[in-house]
Structure 1
Amino acid sequence: MTTSDTATAGRARPENPEPEPNSGPLDGDPALIGVPTFVVGSIALGLTLVGFVPPGAAGAPVAIILAATGIGQLVAAVWAAGLGQSAVASIFGIFSGFWLSYGLLVLGLTHHWFGIPEQSATATQALFLASWTVTVALLALATLRLPVAYTSLFGLIAVALAVVLLATVMGSTGLQAVGGYVVFSFAALGCYLFFHVMSLATGGRGLPLGSPVLGS
């Protein structure tokens, strides 16, 4: 997400706005770190959900999710905050919390860090998924004044969380795989957004992101 995506939201603007210049040592677009690190974690999570790794290897994506995605989102959030991009910092900060807490949840349940009985593991995962489903759905609604590509991204994430929540509660591997494919869909949209911000950063034109659902 670029500065221009948020600063001009809700006003008449061209389909591919040019990035606004910033001054100071933090010049640039935090999305250049935030978006690709989000994509790599999403791909790893999607592969896990569709059964690319054995069912007992739920911790397989944790190294990527913690070391790349969680930290990458946090760096992007701090960078955006330093530029005064409060909406961008909020979005990356929220997803930093999601990815870091997901990694901590998996490690905590695997190594019994939290004293949670084994029979309560499913309820614990459901609590995590329900909490984040609501939060990301609120984020999608709160970004209706941004280009529709961003709202679609957050909406797909909320749908994926809801599907995985149902799969967890019902113990359905089929639904879990469906959730994985929804994860791949928002990872693909993330790739599109990365091409958008990278094109702008290298002197090109941005890609079409669609008009906001809500105007000013």
Structure 2
Amino acid sequence: MSVESDVQAGAHAAAEPQAPAAPVANPALLGLITFLPSGITLGLWFVGYLDTAKLPGGMIPIVSISAGLFLLVSTIWAGRVAANTVAAIFGVFSAFWMSFGVLLAGLTSGWWGITDAAGVAEVQRAYLLSFTLVFILLTLATLRLPLAFTAGFVFVDITFVLAFLGVSTGNAGLFPIAGITTFVFCLIFAYILVDGFAQDLGGKAMPMGNAIVK
């Protein structure tokens, strides 16, 4: 083959359109958008917008299905594409929301045989303390993520600490503050969700901040 024909062949190859890149799986889109309704409902409960005496039973569908079930789906999806950290994050949140739904169902229906206020508070303290410690561990373990994620997890930690202290001390004034911090982490996760949708639809990435740990 001559040099001229080589050049022509190269020019023809360069003129051929490039195949579009295959879409990248992003289970975070499903996980975040199904997490938010439950998070917002929890915040409304904390701030007293919803009746705290009647709401717990009514929260069961949204926390166990909207968040718990669909976060489990997101967890499985993330695991299948080897997004291990994403799977672990959604997995622990799915575990919280599902177990929270079961806890509410049991306490409001008397399944556990606990009817007195002191017994209910004791169960709630143990439950909140366990997840508080796990969410703090999650925050520390994911400091290599962009700052937006860390900020969201920190406000989750603050919310759980406030809820635990509110139950432990009987200080109801802490719950509205926990409601505010709940709305804050919902806003942060909503920002991350919008960024995910933007990138998936061909837009530019939104600022997420530098990771605390490089």
Which TM-score applies when normalising by structure 2? 0.86
Preserved CA contact (<8 Å) 1:65 1:100: yes
Any idea what the Cα deviations from partners look like across 1:126-152, whole Å, max 9, x if unmatched?
111100000000000000111011111
Match of 1:35 in 2: 32
Alignment of 1:1-216 (within 5 A): 28-57=25-54, 58-118=56-116, 119-215=118-214
Radius of gyration: which is bigger? 2
Describe the SS at the equivalent of 2:58: coil
Match of 1:15 in 2: none
Distance 1:166 1:60 in 2: 24
Distance 1:210 1:85 in 2: 21
Preserved CA contact (<8 Å) 2:124 2:167: yes
* Superposition CA RMSD, Å: 1.4
Structure 1 residue 116: Cα displacement? 2.8
Preserved CA contact (<8 Å) 1:168 1:176: no
What are the ranges of 5 or more consecutive residues in structure 1 without an aligned counterpart?
1-20
Structure 1 residue 155: Cα displacement? 1.1
Poorly superposed stretches of 4+, deviation over 6 Å: none
Structure 1 residue 115: Cα displacement? 2.5
Deviates more, 1:49-58 or 1:126-135: 49-58
Which TM-score applies when normalising by structure 1? 0.85
Q: Structure 1 residues 123 and 142 mapped into 2: Cα distance closer, same or farther (>3 Å)?
A: same
Preserved CA contact (<8 Å) 1:130 1:165: yes
Report which of the two has the higher share of helix.
Answer: 2
Structure 1 residue 75: Cα displacement? 0.8
Describe the SS at the equivalent of 2:161: helix
Distance 1:152 1:159 in 2: 11
Structure 1 residue 67: Cα displacement? 1.4
Identical-residue share of aligned pairs (%):
34
Preserved CA contact (<8 Å) 1:35 1:194: yes
Preserved CA contact (<8 Å) 1:38 1:190: no
Give the counterpart letter for 1:152 in structure 2. Answer: A
Deviates more, 1:110-119 or 1:185-194: 110-119
User: Size of the alignment, in residue pairs?
Assistant: 192
Preserved CA contact (<8 Å) 1:22 1:28: no
Distance 1:145 1:190 in 2: 17
What are the ranges of 5 or more consecutive residues in structure 2 without an aligned counterpart?
1-20
